[in-house]
Amino acid sequence: MKLNTLVITTILTSLVSAAAFSQAKLSTNIPHLEKRGTATQLIVDGKPFLVIGAELNNSSASSVEYMQPLWPKIAATNLNTVLATVSWELTEPEEGRFDFNLVDSLIQGARRQNLHLILLWFGSWKNGKSTYQPVWVKTNQQRFPIIQDEKGKGLPTLSTLSDANRDADARAFAALMRHIRAADGEAHTVIMIQVENEVGVLGPSRDHSPLANQAFAGPVPKEFMNYLQMHKDTLIPELRKRWESAGFKTSGSWEEVFGAGMATDELFMAWNYARYVGHVAAAGKAEYPLPMFVNAWLRQGPDKPNEDKPGGYPSGGPLAQVMDAWRAGGPAIDILSPDVHVPNYADWCTWYTQSGNPLFIPESRGDARGVAQAIATAGKYDGIGYSPFGIDRLANPDGELAKGYQVLAQVAPLILERQGLGKMTAVLVDKETPRSKVRLGDYTIEARFAARAQDPNAPVAPPVDRVASLFIQLGPDDYVIVGRSMGVYFETAADPTQSVGLAVVEEGQYVDGRWVPGRRLNGDETPEWKALWFQGDRYTIQKIKLYRYH
């Protein structure tokens, strides 16, 4: 080898290994998901992280001026994370010309307040429609086709079956992720990404364009059939039943394999959305592999029949009943998330923790009920976090959200240490279900909802209609309990001949992870000398030691 060839080879080798080294350094450190016992946690800078978040209104992040006065108000509401829109139209106003000024200003704004960001990629779809794609995409339907209804009428929704649509979106998303890596690959202000927003077909239960009709009449793709066969025993029950009723066929058209009807239309759309969104997510991850999730507009329940069927809600979105199609079609997507704007919160948490899906709630309520839901998400369902919609309106240092989040933030380290290990749980109680019993360690713990304080000396609290109680086990007889508007009672689970007494009850706070006791509670504050009372206008924390007697 000539000397100059050797020199060039050596330089190239060291450049390549320097790049590989920095890549390795970056990739071990970047926010990622990690399994812990039965839970999946979000790891940020090497530590589990609980998202105590809220989402901005859709258009807020499009203006630096609008955001400026809002940032300090958001921080004063005791959040640690803001969910903010990044739109394709403002990111790529002309094809191939990217503008990341708004993304940079979001990152700067969040960093100044010590907040993290979850960016929401409003690309091809938002709430079942296509309104955030750039004008050069919107106005060129020849190149970027839209879906059609049964009568062949075009709908304002990009087709899932077009490679041109998919590739244009994926190119822009990849450019965004490349930019986030360059701007934030060390600091990790941005911790997760939502890919698209509430996708699915609104109106008909599936796309009826000629391309879609052809795919629907054609065979169910091999990849999906293989997935179904490999996961036959763990499929979501609705899907398994449908496949079983049609004879567990291993090939055939969509209607042959799953039977005719709206549910099959929905499954077909779910597969096609998952393929497209999964491809976009994979293109982004190839640049910077942050955890990625998709969110679902949910079916609305039997009281609203028109919004409870595919097409009444976006058909093919990542709903629980079609989870398997999303898992099979979009493996680059880490989490399927429900936007819970319906009352039966606990049901949705149960449905969205099927098949090991980690629970993250990107949209829900931010009132007193919302705080209760945030506590239950983290403490009962081992969730990654919670985010009510509309922090523009909810930001208020004295509001329900700020008061609840302040307490949740105090106990977050205890929660994160115990997720997935069976040493913590939570209950939701309300007027309809005022009592709830759970077992934790050697005790059965019962929360009893008390809309009004029972102690006439207690401060008068505004009425709340649903509250949470969080039970954290510190040792065999030691617990931390978080509650509001309730009494908490104990029995032994191990030996029914024994009674349970309160040895020590302290109320207090965790300051930088250290317990700082306040009042020692006894007498009227522990009714009948055997229960805890949580009264007043906010969640409080009690640290207790129990004992047993015959």
- What is the C-alpha to C-alpha distance for residues 293 and 194, in angstroms, rounded to an integer? 5
What is the closest distance, in whole angstroms, from the C-beta atom of residue 385 to ligand DGJ in the complex? 17
Q: How far is the CB of 121 from ligand DGJ (least distance, A)?
A: 12
79 or 502, CB closer to ligand DGJ?
Answer: 79
CA dihedral over 324, 326, 331, 337, signed as positive or negative: negative
Q: Which is nearer to ligand DGJ, 169 or 198 (CB)?
A: 198
Q: Which of these, 134, 530, 191, 157, lies nearest to 311 by C-alpha position?
A: 157
Tokens representing residue 230 in the block: 């490999």
Cβ proximity to ligand DGJ: between 58 and 377 the closer is: 58
At its nearest, how many Å lie between ligand DGJ and the CB of residue 202? 12
What residue has token string 């829900």? Answer: 364
Tokens 């907040």 map to which residue?
Answer: 115
Query: Among 379, 550, 368, which residue's Cα sits nearest to residue 480?
Result: 379
CA distances from 330 to 124, 468, 488 (A): 16, 35, 44
Cα first-last separation, the chain = 89
Shortest distance (Å) from residue 122 CB to ligand DGJ: 8
| 8 A C-beta contact, residue 428 and residue 405 | no
Of 284, 390, 280, the residue nearest 57 (C-alpha):
390
**Hunting for tokens 């199609």 — which residue is that?**
325
Q: Smallest distance, Å, CB 507 to ligand DGJ?
A: 37
Of 352 and 489, the one with the shorter C-beta distance to ligand DGJ is: 352
Question: Is the CB of 389 or the CB of 471 nearer to ligand DGJ?
Answer: 389
Q: How far is the CB of 362 from ligand DGJ (least distance, A)?
A: 8
Q: Which candidate, 401, 397, 378, 377, places its Cα nearest to that of 388? A: 401
Q: Which is nearer to ligand DGJ, 194 or 264 (CB)?
A: 194
CA distances from 270 to 115, 123, 192, 207, 297 (A): 34, 18, 23, 11, 13
Residues 455, 461, 466, 470, CA torsion sign: negative
- Provide, rounded to whole angstroms, the least separation between the CB of residue 197 and ligand DGJ: 5
Work out how close the CB of 199 gets to ligand DGJ at its nearest, in angstroms, rounded to a whole number: 10
User: Of 318, 57, 332, 63, nearest to 177 (Cα)?
Assistant: 332
Burial class (CB in 10 A: 0-12, 13-18, 19+), 360: buried
The least CB distance from residue 440 to ligand DGJ, in Å, is: 35
When CB distances to ligand DGJ are compared, the closest residue is 198
Beta carbon of residue 342, minimum distance to ligand DGJ (angstroms, whole number) = 12
Indicate the residue among 105 and 127 with the shorter CB distance to ligand DGJ. 127
Whole-angstrom distance, CA of residue 337 vs CA of residue 353: 10
- Closer to ligand DGJ by CB, 318 or 483: give it: 318
User: For residues 48 and 44, what is the distance between their CA atoms, to the nearest angstrom?
Assistant: 6
Q: Which residues bind ligand DGJ (CB under 6 A)?
A: 58, 127, 197-198, 339, 363, 389
Give all strands (DSSP E) within 249-304, no chain letters. 292-297
Of 352 and 510, CB closest to ligand DGJ: 352
CB-wise, 389 or 405, nearer to ligand DGJ? 389
C-alpha torsion sign, points 138, 141, 143, 147: positive
Residue with smaller CB distance to ligand DGJ, 78 or 194: 194
- As measured in angstroms, the least distance from the Cβ of 120 to ligand DGJ is 8
With H, G, I as helix, E, B as strand and everything else as coil, classify residue 455.
coil
Closest approach, Cβ 498 to ligand DGJ, in A, equals 51
Other C-beta atoms closer than 10 Å to the C-beta of 420 total 16
Token pair for residue 220?
């169910």
* Residue with smaller CB distance to ligand DGJ, 129 or 545: 129
CA-based nearest residue to 338, from 312, 357, 325:
357
